[in-house]
Amino acid sequence: MLSLAKEAVDTVPDKQNSGAQTLEPSDANLVVAVARFDQTALSQLYDRHGTSVFALARRLVKSRELAEEVTQEIFMRLWNRPERFDSARGALRSFLLADTHGRSIDMLRSELARKEREKKEHVMDVRHTADVESQVWSNVASEEIREAVAGLADGERKAIELAYFSGYTYRQVAEALGEPEGTVKSRIRTGMKRLKGQLTASGMMP
């Protein structure tokens, strides 16, 4: 006797993916979260727009270091004052790039002003150093000249000291020494020639 074996076939339907697809929050929603001090939201916004902000800043300020500083400031501004962004007036990226442009220009002006200030300070330092050196040299030269004058003949020395160190005129020197003005002039000329020779020999004059 033939027995018919009936196969039982389990027909299990394919399981459908019933889980809802996760949606990325909009920029506007993330800004709202930032206003609630959500650091994760700020990180997400940085991941979305940080590269564009940095690229624009780098193009404007011509410096990677300054561009990084601008980028950090832009997102810190967003963290500190998220209410500045109004989604009704445009996209967040446009807002951030406009902010980046303005901050980059401000930084360029600040850098230019700083360099000009440093340049002026450098010039003033150089001038101050030159003045100090000049004063020191003048003092040294005065001492050298006084020593050279002290080595002149008595009549020449007295006439030159009164004329050049005390500021007397030839007539006043003559009156002070009780000698004719012509004699005083002659002694001063002779003394100055001797003085020049001594200073030239000591290297004080070419």
The dihedral through the CA atoms of 62, 49, 95, 69 has a sign that is negative
Architecture of the structural domain at 125-201: Orthogonal Bundle (1.10)
Who's near 196: CB < 8 A, 6+ residues apart? 205
Burial class (CB in 10 A: 0-12, 13-18, 19+), 65: exposed
Tokens matching residue 148? 């050279």
What are the structure tokens assigned to 68, written together?
């990084």
Q: What is the pLDDT of residue 12?
A: 33
Which two three-digit tokens encode residue 84? 């500045």
Considering the chain, tell me which residue range(s) the CATH 1.10.10.10 domain(s) occupy: 125-201
Q: Are 62 and 105 in contact (CB under 8 A)?
A: no
| Structure letter (DSSP) for residue 178 | T
CATH 1.10.1740.10 domain position(s) in the chain: 27-119
Is CATH 1.10.1740.10 what the domain over 27-119 is classified as, yes or no?
A: yes
- pLDDT tens series, the chain, 206 aa: 323 233 322 333 443 444 445 688 999 999 999 999 999 999 999 999 999 999 999 999 999 999 999 999 999 999 999 999 999 999 999 999 999 999 999 999 988 888 888 777 766 755 654 565 455 445 445 677 777 778 888 888 888 888 877 888 888 999 999 999 889 888 888 888 887 777 777 766 56
Per-residue model confidence (pLDDT) at position 105: 95
For residue 91, the Cα-to-chain-centroid distance in whole angstroms is 36
Which residue bears the tokens 């850098």? Answer: 111
